[in-house]
Amino acid sequence: WSSDVCSSDLERIITLAASSASIHGSIRETLATAHSIDWTGKAADHYRDRLLTIRNSLSTHDDEARSTAQIAHIAHVSTPQGGA
């Protein structure tokens, strides 16, 4: 990971992290609706387990994207103009 992050790259990283979180928010709403379907049995339990796995994966991705954006910002701020 290079500490040389230019402004346009930083903006792209931050935008991608925000976009991912926004899209994942919509997906989470859909998953919540699907999770509350009145359905019982092994298939229903398996389906709900899969929804939970997907929801957890989205949360992990959002956390990692946010961390990456923070690291890029710190690298950008700590790098003197014009590079090292």
Q: Which of 5-9, 29-33, 49-53 has the lowest mean pLDDT?
A: 5-9
* Mean pLDDT computed over 26-41: 87
Top pLDDT among 32 and 5 is at 32
Instruction: Please tell me the predicted confidence (pLDDT) of residue 1.
Output: 44
C-beta separation of 10 from 76 below 8 A: yes
> What integer best gives the mean pLDDT of the chain?
83
C-beta separation of 20 from 62 below 8 A: yes
Top pLDDT among 53 and 1 is at 53
State the greatest distance between any 2 C-alpha atoms of the chain, in Å, as a whole number.
Answer: 62
